[in-house]
């Protein structure tokens, strides 16, 4: 909550106290908020469910494989929508110069860019969760994505300053969130050609987003990212769903694990044994379970005779 909401709001308000007429600060803060909640917060939710065994229990209920991820995504969307609305209301209440900019916003660009940015962030988070087995390693990845977005896309440092550094702009082409965040920033100042001429005679806050002067380029790049990640995730969910229902012999995995667990519980003679049994059962039913990777073991006849 502190890093994802309060830090972003605090940073935005500090900047607006000194540069209340800056046209990019609000859009940058909203974009950073979306990246934080869509990547980092979403990943923490998924990893917590996996580590506590909640995902395993849900997987064994027999519900459709797409319901659980859909529910998590809807919850994350609600969080982003509410926090964005709160930040917008607070900004309009306390900063008059931002209210002036509010009247000239290209809402189609801004809202569509925000939705695509959120969708891309969620897909990245789910991909890291699905294919990176280690939670600490996955947390490092999502934290780096958030920190780069926070510091280099207009929240920690004004984007018009960053845009003047050529080598930094080249590096940012490899950050997927850059494209839709630039669309949001350009939409906030109604720069349809992705070039903002600035304010007044001195062209203050002039920015060239360096995306070819066409909205098609950032959207094509973002949609390609979303399509590739969606294909990987859908394929992963389908394969995992089939494997968790039946084993290599066609037997029900849920029935087998449940039967073994019940029989083992009956044989427990102490609380400690019961705790260890439960931990083992949760591991077998976890999201990243290796149950299906188990191969039939060869029986050592010598050991059997002993």
Task: Determine the pLDDT at residue 302.
Answer: 43
Tokens at 164, concatenated: 């003047």
Give the pLDDT band (50/70/90) at residue 287: very low
**Which residues have C-beta within 8 Å of that of residue 153, sequence separation ≥ 6?**
28, 31, 32, 159, 162, 172, 175, 177, 178, 181
Residue-wise pLDDT tens digits, 165-191: 989 999 999 999 999 999 999 999 999
Average pLDDT of the segment spanning 157-165:
89
User: Using CA atoms in the order 29, 34, 36, 39, what is the torsion angle rounded to 10 degrees?
Assistant: -150
Model confidence at 299: pLDDT above 70: no
**26: how many CB neighbours lie within 10 A of its CB?**
26
Higher pLDDT, 74 or 294: 74
- CB-side exposure of 72: number of CA atoms within 13 Å? 25
Q: State the DSSP code for 252.
A: B
pTM of the model: 0.77
Answer whether residue 17 shows pLDDT above 80: yes
Dihedral sign for Cα atoms in the order 48, 49, 54, 55: negative
How does residue 219 score in pLDDT terms, banded at 50, 70 and 90? Answer: very high
Two structure tokens written together for 258: 């449940």
């Amino acid at each position: 909550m502190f890093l994802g909401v309060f830090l972003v709001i605090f940073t935005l308000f500090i900047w607006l106290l000194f540069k209340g007429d800056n046209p990019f600060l609000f859009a940058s803060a909203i974009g950073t908020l979306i990246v934080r909640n869509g990547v980092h917060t979403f990943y923490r939710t998924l990893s917590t469910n996996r580590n506590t065994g909640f995902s395993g229990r849900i997987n064994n209920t027999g519900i459709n494989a797409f319901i659980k991820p859909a529910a998590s995504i809807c919850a994350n969307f609600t969080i982003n929508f509410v926090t964005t609305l709160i930040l917008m209301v607070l900004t309009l209440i306390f900063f008059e110069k931002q209210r002036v900019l509010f009247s000239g916003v290209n809402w189609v660009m801004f809202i569509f860019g925000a939705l695509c940015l959120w969708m891309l962030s969620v897909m990245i988070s789910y991909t890291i969760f699905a294919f990176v087995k280690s939670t600490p390693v996955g947390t490092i990845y999502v934290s780096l994505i958030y920190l780069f977005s926070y510091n280099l896309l207009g929240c920690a440092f004004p984007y018009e300053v960053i845009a003047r550094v050529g080598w930094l702009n080249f590096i940012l082409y490899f950050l997927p969130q850059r494209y839709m965040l630039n669309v949001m920033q350009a939409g906030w100042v109604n720069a349809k050609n992705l070039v903002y001429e600035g304010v007044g005679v001195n062209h203050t806050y002039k920015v060239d987003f360096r995306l070819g002067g066409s909205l098609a380029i950032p959207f094509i790049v973002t949609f390609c990212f979303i399509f590739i990640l969606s294909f990987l995730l859908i394929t992963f969910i389908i394969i995992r769903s089939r494997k968790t229902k039946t084993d290599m012999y066609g037997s029900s995995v849920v029935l087998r694990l449940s039967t073994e667990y019940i029989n083992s519980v009956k044989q427990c003679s102490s609380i400690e044994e019961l705790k260890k049994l439960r931990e083992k059962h949760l591991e077998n039913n976890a999201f990243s379970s290796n149950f299906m990777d188990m191969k039939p073991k060869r029986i050592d006849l010598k050991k059997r005779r002993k």
